[in-house]
Amino acid sequence: MAEKPNSDGDSFTRRAMIVIALAAAAFLVWTLRYVLVLLFGAVLVATIIRAIAQPLKKHLRLPDGISVAVSVLLIAGVVGGTVWMIGSQIGAQAEHLSESIPRAVSLLDSWLGTVGLHHPIESWIKHIGSDNSIIVAEFGGWLSSLTVSFASLLILIFGGIFLAAQPRFYGIGAIKLIPPEGRALIGEAMEESAVALRLWLKGQIVAMVAIGVLTWIGFMIIGVQSPLVLAIIAGVLEFVPYAGPIASAIPAVLVALAQGPEFAVWTIIMYVVVHHVEAYILQPMVQQWAVDVPAVVMLFALLAFGLLFGIVGVFFAAPLAVVTYVLVKRLYVVELLDTPTPIPGETKDKA
């Protein structure tokens, strides 16, 4: 009887320590959220490298390390070769783009002035120009952001290469952080999410290339200047669901507006047609062997990851949504609720 208060006190202390540890872990995760999303970006890079390395390993019978090295060299060669072949054209069009957009913004500001909005863009530019401290602060912020972005890109690329070179080593290391009784389940969930992510990437790359080619053809038909650069922007931003196509259309419409209102109208029509072709023809074909995540899930994932991680979270929102969707279905719906449900990509990968 005399030991019961001590036992109760020990139990309370243990629970209090667990709560404190969980709160500390949550605070640490929140503080390091940018690092965590960069780690996920490195996993994405590693997935791309491994997707190229696996066929090389299988068909050419290369050792795993050599197949990864060849994959990295192939990616670098394709990127470098593309820049070498069309770099001068991209540079010239980018220079023209930098001249066209300010001219289009001026035309837009003039039109806003005619409808009674008192030239808001011109007023804003004059306000910034009249205060040198704002310019200095903005320039310092841009320079700092550029430096951090470049460093983050290097970390992401080299982190992806290291992960691709030894995926089993890092995977086992991560699973060892889990209690022994849950390691098999977590290992299965990680493998299923990796399969889904790989399939989603295949479909997304097809969509990005198709959008880039279709918009380039559309710009050439309409006669919009800087078609190659605008098409590359459209293809790259296709990686970001919903927000990407809208963001890619803005510079295109501005450039077209600088050539004339009719060019801007035809550019808008072209974007609508291209994305309808993607939605109703391309996506149904791609989803036969890729991964389909419900539109509502993807939309709110874009909002949630954008709020959590900023612009980097917006860029990685789609692959993060794919992985989260698979993990929730596998660990919560199937395992905890004991409810059978299809896991995205599992039957397609086996097929």
**Residue 112's pLDDT band (cuts 50, 70, 90):** low
> 226 pLDDT exceeds 50?
yes
> 158 pLDDT exceeds 90?
yes
Task: Kindly report the length of the chain.
Answer: 351
User: In this predicted structure, what is the pLDDT of residue 266?
Assistant: 94
Q: Which residue has the higher pLDDT, 15 or 196?
A: 196
Count: domains in the chain: 1
User: In this predicted structure, what is the pLDDT of residue 1?
Assistant: 46
- Interval 189-218 mean pLDDT: 91
> 186 pLDDT exceeds 50?
yes
126 in any annotated domain = no
Contacts 24+ apart (CB under 8 A), 161-167: 161/45, 161/46, 161/49, 161/68, 161/72, 162/42, 163/42, 163/43, 163/45, 163/46, 164/45, 164/46, 164/49, 164/50, 164/53, 164/68, 164/71, 164/72, 165/65, 165/68, 167/46, 167/50
User: In this predicted structure, what is the pLDDT of residue 82?
Assistant: 77
User: In this predicted structure, what is the pLDDT of residue 135?
Assistant: 47
With a pLDDT cut of 90, the percent of the chain lying above it is 23
> 161 pLDDT exceeds 90?
yes
> 41 pLDDT exceeds 80?
yes
- Interval 244-255 mean pLDDT: 88
Q: In angstroms, what CA-CA distances link 199 with 31, 55, 91, 176, 276?
A: 31, 15, 34, 27, 23
- Interval 40-49 mean pLDDT: 93
- Interval 142-149 mean pLDDT: 71
SS3 179: coil
- Interval 72-98 mean pLDDT: 77
335 in any annotated domain = yes
**Any idea which residue has 């306000």 for tokens?**
127
Average pLDDT, the chain: 81
> 121 pLDDT exceeds 80?
no
User: In this predicted structure, what is the pLDDT of residue 13?
Assistant: 79
**Residue 110 and residue 181: Cα distance in Å, rounded?**
68
**Residue 348 and residue 326: Cα distance in Å, rounded?**
14
158 in any annotated domain = no
216 in any annotated domain = yes
User: In this predicted structure, what is the pLDDT of residue 79?
Assistant: 84
User: In this predicted structure, what is the pLDDT of residue 159?
Assistant: 94
**Residue 36 and residue 250: Cα distance in Å, rounded?**
31
Give 264-305 pLDDT, tens digit per residue. Answer: 899 999 999 998 888 888 877 776 667 778 888 888 988 999
Name the DSSP class of 288. T
Could you tell me if 45 and 161 are in contact, meaning their C-beta atoms sit under 8 angstroms apart?
yes
Q: How far apart are the first and last CA of the chain?
A: 65
- Interval 156-166 mean pLDDT: 93
134 in any annotated domain = no
**Residue 216's pLDDT band (cuts 50, 70, 90):** very high
**Residue 75 and residue 126: Cα distance in Å, rounded?**
45
Closest CA to 186 of 195, 196, 176: 176
**Residue 350's pLDDT band (cuts 50, 70, 90):** very low
**Residue 47's pLDDT band (cuts 50, 70, 90):** very high
347 in any annotated domain = yes
> 351 pLDDT exceeds 50?
no
Could you tell me if 197 and 47 are in contact, meaning their C-beta atoms sit under 8 angstroms apart?
yes
Domain that includes residue 296, residue range? 192-351
162 in any annotated domain = no
3 in any annotated domain = no
Sign of the dihedral through C-alpha 234, 239, 243, 247: negative
- Interval 121-138 mean pLDDT: 52
Name the DSSP class of 294. -
